[in-house]
């Protein structure tokens, strides 16, 4: 996810200052041993997501055939099929590579979307207070009252499964925590003397909010974005595992769903373990980075 930051930053942002700042933060995170391991793993996942489909030996739904031209079902791992094949003769290793891209797409897009939404709501709610705050926070309360997984299942069964819908649902789930945390942060920031100074100097309300307050909550937003990538990947996996993911693409959760339904837990460990392991490894590496980043933001954590 951090690499994605660099990618989007170098691709889209004009200011080189932003890239330098992010690179600096990553450098500091890399000095924590957990942070370094986490960053390396995430980098590896990002590389796989980008080049994986190009180097995958087979397509995500392509049946492998044996010498006799028959579908090669449930082959154990071998030289030509590194992680064996499924009941439909699909190469597990290739699916794993394709699935990495889907997982990261959902994770990164929904994390960015939810952080933008959550940060904006938190900023506006905390800064303006009054009825604006009341309305936005009651909306947040309602969002907290909706159980995500059941809600997503109902919506998907109504609208039909698709990747954009999954991303939208995950985004709608993730923003709520960000908005509460950012709001709390804004509430303390807006009483600081430098805000009075800005106001005395004649800054407009929106100027104060976006030029003076927003930059100070951004580090926290980045933290929630990282946590959001983790959440997004997990939620997509959960939905796909339940059979509510996009049937036209393959993800780690989708692989587990097919394996589970085909009874591979009994017969083909090589089909079940790789996607689950990839998912766990990804989630733990994001955890390691966020942990290091949190310590960076809040040095008290080290003593607590």
Residues that bind other proteins (CB under 8 A): 34, 138, 141-142, 144-151, 153-155, 157-158, 230, 234, 237-238, 241-243, 256, 260, 265-266, 269, 272-273, 276-277, 279-280, 283-284, 286-288, 291, 304
Closest CB to other proteins among residues 14, 266: 266
Closest CB to other proteins among residues 5, 236: 236
Cα-Cα-Cα-Cα dihedral sign, residues 154, 221, 126, 296? positive
Closest CB to other proteins among residues 113, 231: 231
Closest CB to other proteins among residues 200, 304: 304
CB of 267 to other proteins, least distance (A): 9
CB of 189 to other proteins, least distance (A): 19
Closest CB to other proteins among residues 75, 237: 237
d(CA 40, CA 126): 37
CB of 217 to other proteins, least distance (A): 22
Nearest to 179 by CA among 114, 111, 113: 114
CB of 227 to other proteins, least distance (A): 10
Closest CB to other proteins among residues 28, 154: 154
CB of 107 to other proteins, least distance (A): 13
CB of 22 to other proteins, least distance (A): 23
CB of 86 to other proteins, least distance (A): 16
Q: Are 253 and 274 in contact (CB under 8 A)?
A: no
Q: In Å, how far are 61, 79, 251 from 280, measured between CA atoms? A: 24, 25, 14
Q: In Å, how far are 130, 278, 283 from 236, measured between CA atoms? A: 37, 14, 12
Task: Count the neighbouring beta carbons within 10 Å of the beta carbon of residue 159.
Answer: 11
* Angle between helices 92-128 and 2-12 in degrees, nearest 10: 70
Q: Are 223 and 111 in contact (CB under 8 A)?
A: no
Tell me how far apart the 2 most distant CA atoms of the chain are, in Å.
Answer: 83
Q: Are 2 and 226 in contact (CB under 8 A)?
A: yes
- Residue 71: beta bridge partners? 65
Closest CB to other proteins among residues 214, 236: 236
């Amino acid at each position: 996810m951090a690499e994605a930051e660099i990618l989007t930053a170098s691709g889209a942002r004009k200011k080189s200052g932003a890239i330098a700042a992010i690179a600096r933060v990553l450098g500091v995170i890399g000095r924590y041993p957990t942070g370094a391991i986490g960053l390396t793993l995430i980098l590896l996942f990002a590389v796989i997501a980008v080049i994986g489909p190009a180097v995958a030996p087979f397509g995500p739904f392509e049946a492998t055939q044996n010498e006799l031209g028959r579908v090669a079902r449930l082959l154990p791992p071998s030289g030509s099929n590194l992680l064996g094949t499924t009941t439909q003769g699909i190469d597990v290793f290739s699916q794993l590579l394709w699935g990495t891209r889907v997982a990261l797409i959902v994770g990164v897009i929904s994390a960015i979307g939810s952080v933008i939404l959550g940060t904006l709501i938190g900023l506006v709610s905390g800064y303006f207070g009054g009825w604006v705050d009341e309305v936005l926070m009651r909306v947040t309360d309602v969002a907290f009252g909706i159980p995500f997984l059941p809600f997503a299942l109902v919506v998907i069964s109504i609208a039909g499964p698709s990747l954009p819908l999954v991303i939208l649902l995950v985004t709608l789930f993730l923003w709520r925590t960000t908005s509460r945390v950012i709001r709390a942060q804004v509430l303390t920031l807006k009483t600081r003397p430098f805000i009075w100074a800005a106001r005395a100097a004649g800054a407009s309300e929106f100027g104060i909010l976006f030029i003076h307050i927003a930059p100070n909550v951004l580090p926290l937003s980045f933290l929630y974005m990282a946590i959001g990538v983790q959440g997004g990947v997990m939620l997509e996996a959960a939905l796909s595992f339940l059979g509510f993911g996009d049937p036209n693409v393959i993800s780690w959760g989708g692989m587990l769903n097919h394996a589970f339904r085909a009874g591979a837990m009994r017969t083909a460990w090589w089909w079940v373990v790789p996607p689950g392991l990839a998912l766990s490894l990804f989630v733990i590496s994001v955890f390691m980075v966020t942990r290091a980043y949190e310590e960076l933001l809040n040095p008290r954590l080290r003593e607590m």
